[in-house]
A and B are shown apart, each in its own frame.
Chain A
Amino acid sequence: MPKDHGIGASQKRREDVRFLTGAGQYTDDISTYGQTYCVFLRSDVAHGTINNLDTSDAEAMPGVVRIFTGKDFEGIGGLPCGWQVTDKNGEPMKEPAHPVLAQGKVRHVGDPIAAVVAESLEEARNAAEAIVYDIDELPAVVDMKAALEAGAAKVHDDLDDNLCYDWQFGSDQAAIDEAFSNAAHVTTLDLINNRLVANPMEPRVALGEYNRANDESTLYTTSQNPHVIRLLMGAFVLGIPEHKLRVVAPDVGGGFGTKIFHYAEEAFVTFASRQINRPVKWTSTRSEAFMSDAHGRDHVTKIELALDADNNFIGLRTDTLANMGAYLSTFSSSVPTWLHGTLMAGNYKTPAIQVNVKAVFTNTVPVDAYRGACRPEATFQLERLVDKAARELGVDPIALRRQNFIDSFPYSTPVAVEYDTGDYTATMDKLEEMIDREGFEPAARRARPMASCAGSASTAISRPAALRRRTSWVSSARAPVSMTPPRCG
């Protein structure tokens, strides 16, 4: 029954009128007096040494204000990762330098080599094409398994190998070994959660402005997260005190996570505007977005479920390779660990769960949080595994789920989350009623897409409310506060 007020009522959005009349203000709609335009020269190889970088011809091109290279950023901070992860041996993750402009080496296609600032976009583009450079191409690692092999090409020369961290979480080895040695049946599944590019409709834009009268900088940026960008860029990259730095995020044309992070282009326009004392604007092209926006997912996982003779889940073990790309993006390290490992219990009372994650550097665009940020990956792995187990055992997949649902609350999972409440059985009852599961003949299941989805539609997701304050579909769950706090730097 439609309602006109209160919970469940349809509300008209306040922002719709400006969006529908062309009056929205997205970052690229902002232009300031005296503005210059920036174009980045980006690497077209995945891995290489920059031998020669000659900007002299380009500097003489019409309209060029200044050309910046890695040299201009010597002694200036790189882009920090905002979350420290400690590996299973107690060692901190490897966090290699992430320069604003490449310092001697390029490590992925799209790695910025130089930036031209000019009076017009066209002049900046022309000058960027006139930069003379020579890159000695090096062997590139793209596949994660190959990247971990002995003798693989190293993404970062100053690291021992391409391993960022080897993380282990949940039940101890003895508990997990016991569960699997007692198993009447073990189901194993290998899964690839493919890499993707977020591609919001609005490409990223950054406009830096400097006021030398009061030494204040303003950054207008396509951002879901302006406060963190002010903190990271001010404190760790450019050394600008917070009260001298303003980050403005106007209307955002979609983000899907990829506009959460602090990017080199934001630091660049802020830095350059202070150097030339004029506003500097960069607008990404769509092609550039594929090479410079953080990508999502990219996991290769082996997951195993141990069941006893009565089909009770008694152990769960996962081994995941998580692609970090060439550098650690702002929250990249947290995604396959804390945002993923803590979800591996799902809605099941599996008493022993162990999550193993190796994060790997490769010569690819950095990977970070995207739509659900590893919670979908966790759920996908677990529920696909339960379906496979049901098929192997010849039992109904929904009955197998019902049998293993957590039915007493509060419930502490082996992966550090306490669920305060939930009623998965009632939710499953409702789901079966909604899809009329009883009424489906096998032929009808094949004919109707909804029916063929019945197995996966039974997936239930719990999301920790303390990480993100949102009530989950079927339960609200509370994460303990003992998680490692984000580290900056």
Chain B
Amino acid sequence: MTKVTMTVNGKAVSKEVSGNTLMTEFLRDELHLTGTHVGCDTSQCGACVIHVDGQSVKACTMFAGEAEGASVTTIEGMANADGSLSVIQQAFQDHHGLQCGFCTPGMVMTAAALLKENPKPSEHEVRDYLEGNICRCTGYHNIVKAILAASGQDVSGIAAE
């Protein structure tokens, strides 16, 4: 067992974990932050995307020990301080960018990473950036629309799907 210490959603945490504990297991089982989902366990689906020191990472393919000393943000840390939905989260609700909700945490985390890198992405850039995130319900159109809307761009001309 190894002791790992990191900041998760602004809170310092320290736990004993074994060397092969995955970041998803650490978040879900040790910290009970179950918003980070495991859809495939093999880096395909993107439901487990979190931010580690500002970088989007698939938590199912990272050991907890690799986040030693890091600042980690999960979906549970994405709302505004007063608990209201952030701009991206609100855009997902406004544009029906989710259905069953299982891929949604990963989609929101990926969207946040994109808009940090590229505050006004084109539709093509949004679709390209979502390459590592799979959704089985929505057909993606409304997710793309929500992300474009969250970037402050006018999406009124884009037909609802």
Contact = CB atoms under 8 A, between A and B. Distances in A.
Given A21-B35, A285-B41, A16 B136 contact: no
B26 interface: no
Contact of B40 (A23, A254, A256, A286): A286
A15 B98 CA distance: 10
Contact of B105 (A17, A22, A25): A22
A20 B40 contact: no
A201 B102 contact: yes
A203 B136 CA distance: 12
Contacts of B93: 12-13, 16-17, 20
B136 A20 contact: no
B39 A24 contact: no
Given A20-B108, A21-B85, A200-B136, A286 B101 contact: no
5 contacts: A199-B136, A201-B39, A201-B134, A201-B136, A254-B137
Given A13-B93, A201-B47, A286-B39, A20 B85 contact: yes
Contacts, number: 97
B64 interface: no
Interface stretch (B51-59, B75-83, B119-127): B75-83
B147 interface: no
A355 B67 CA distance: 61
A26 B100 CA distance: 10
A356 B30 CA distance: 56
A252 interface: yes
Interface of B: 20, 28-29, 33-42, 44-45, 47, 74-76, 78-79, 85, 89, 92-94, 96, 98-105, 108, 134-137
A26 B98 contact: no
B75 A21 contact: yes
A19 interface: yes
Given A199-B136, A201-B47, A201-B103, A19 B40 contact: no
A19 B37 contact: no
Nearest to A285: B41
Pick the most buried of B28, B41, B93, B102: most chain A CB atoms within 10 A of its CB: B102
On chain A, which size bracket covers the interface? Answer: 20 to 34
Given A20-B108, A21-B89, 17 more contacts: A17-B85, A19-B104, A20-B89, A22-B78, A24-B101, A26-B34, A201-B39, A201-B45, A202-B37, A202-B39, A253-B37, A253-B39, A254-B99, A286-B41, A286-B42, A286-B44, A286-B45
Contact of B102 (A17, A21, A31, A253): A253
A19 B85 contact: no
In the A-B complex, list the 4 residue pairs whose CB atoms are closest, starting with the nearest. Answer: A22-B35, A19-B101, A253-B102, A22-B75
B89 A28 contact: no
Contacts of A31: 29
B85 to A, nearest CB: 6
Nearest to B107: A20
Interface in A1-48: 12-13, 15-26, 28-29, 31
Given A201-B47, A286-B40, A20 B100 contact: no
Contacts of B35: 21-24
Interface string A282-310: 00011000000000000000000000000
A319 interface: no
A16 B35 CA distance: 13
B59 to A, nearest CB: 13
B114 to A, nearest CB: 17
Given A20-B92, A21-B78, A201-B47, A251 B101 contact: yes
B83 to A, nearest CB: 8
Contacts of B38: 28, 203
A252 B41 contact: no
Nearest to B78: A21
Nearest to A251: B101
Contacts of A29: 28, 34
A282 to B, nearest CB: 14
A31 B78 CA distance: 24
